[in-house]
Amino acid sequence: MQLQLHIKQADDKIKEHQANLHNLKAHQVEQEKLVEAEEEYITNTLFKRLEELQKEKNGLILEVEREEEYLTNTLQKKMEIVKQEKIALENRLEIEEEAIVIRLQKQLNILQEQKEELEQRVAETPRGTELRKLKWEVEIIKRTKEGEISKLESENFGLQQQINKYREQIETLQNEKKAGLLQ
């Protein structure tokens, strides 16, 4: 009887352990499902984030390309404007130089005529006072013309300075464009 009692107690313990084991297995299966679901959630979240980052990267690449294209176009437009300004300045300078040459030629012709007239007067009149007066008039005319020539040379120098300045600006823009294209 004691043996039966002992067997019954052992059977009860076995059943209890089997029930606990069954509960633990069920709990383990449930935990594995939770872990698997959480892993899947984390994986999906990471994939979504990765896709977002890829889209953001592609957007930034496009934005950089658009900015580079904009800068290139802007530099080309500025360079074209500077080229046109340079051409206009060179044309203006050429026209002004021609006008100066024509004006100086006319003045030279007038002076030549005045000189010839004075020489003719000297040849026709007694030399004394008349000759000194004519020499003095020639000197005044000569000084006046020298002043005008000096003024014209100064203007010419200023125009040359402007041209040099524009050439430097063009060269700077070309270097900036080259540097921008190399990057």
Owning domain of residue 32: 2-182
For residue 72, pLDDT beyond 70: yes
Structural domain count of the chain: 1
What are the b/e assignments for 115-138, b being 16+ CB within 10 Å?
eeebeeeeeeeeeeeeeeebeeee
DSSP state at residue 125:
S
Residue-wise pLDDT for 132-170, tens only, equals 677 778 788 788 878 787 887 888 888 888 888 888 888
Q: Which amino acid is it at 171?
A: E
Is residue 47 within 8 A of residue 131, CB to CB? The reply is: no
Arithmetic mean of pLDDT over the chain: 85
- Residue 69's pLDDT band, with cuts at 50, 70 and 90, is very high
Residue-wise pLDDT for 101-135, tens only, equals 898 899 889 888 988 887 777 666 666 566 667 77
Whole-angstrom CA distances from 96 to 50, 82, 108, 146 are 68, 20, 18, 19
